Amino acid sequence: MMKMPASEEQQKIAKAFLSARAKKTPLTLYPGAMPATMGEAYAIQDAAIGFDGRTVGGWKVGRIPAELVDRYLDNRLAGPIFTDEIFDGSAGERPAMPVYADGFAAAEAEVLLRLGDVGTRDHDIETVKDCITEVRTGIEIASSPFREINRHGPAVTASDYGNNKGLILGPAIPDWRTADLIRMPVEFFIDDASVGAATMETMLDGPFGSALFLIRVLRARGIAIPAGTWVSTGAITGIHEIRPGQRGDALFNGKIRVGCAITG
């Protein structure tokens, strides 16, 4: 993937999404020509990050459905998570997480990796672990003013910050280097009702594969990866739509819990 400078049309799309997010205005239609490739999507995303001006503290990684991989030439997508939308929920509190009530909103149980120095070398699934300083449980909040963001393919999803609206940092996973992360049971609850359960065996090459993907894509886009960057590695139990007033909780390994309260 080559880095593409944003065209005037792509800059207009980026500004339209920023305006809708700032004003909390729902978008019933995509605000321009829908991107057809991931390169076009990231051109819009990069323009929006530049116009936004906030500091990026992490990146969400999402899976591209298998039947779309050949079309979009990748199996994952990425979107920025801004530092002012990253909250600590490791002590058992439920941070209040705002979503676009008239747009799309969901919560996802994810494993979070904190990167140290990634250097300039090419990594593989084993050496990338040497770049990771911490592994935590967590919840990604997915929300966009465009309610149909996930219905038009991964490029549309990526174009609006990858459909991200925040991250909750849950408790750390102790001894993550020797733990069997891939087979760890994970369950998600909305208002105490179980809505999904799975393991990371469903996540392509797992959370470390997500880190590898992100390093590759950000380098191709000319984006620095400072030490301390969080990687939200992908939904484990599914993308669970959620509404203001509801609570979301993720349970890892039957004992590590992280939660949030959804607001409008």
Which structure tokens are listed for 144? 């966009």
Domain limits, the chain: 56-263
pLDDT tens, residue by residue, 88-116:
999 999 999 999 999 999 999 999 999 99
Give me the pLDDT at residue 2, please.
Answer: 59
Give me the pLDDT at residue 1, please.
Answer: 60
Give me the pLDDT at residue 4, please.
Answer: 72
Total Cβ atoms within 10 A of residue 60 = 30
Average pLDDT, the chain: 96
List the CATH code of the domain at 56-263.
3.90.850.10
Which residue numbers in the chain have pLDDT < 70? 1-2
Give me the pLDDT at residue 5, please.
Answer: 85
Helices (H), the chain: 8-23, 38-52, 69-72, 154-159, 206-220
**29 secondary structure, DSSP code:** S
Longest dimension (CA), the chain: 50
Tell me the pTM: 0.96
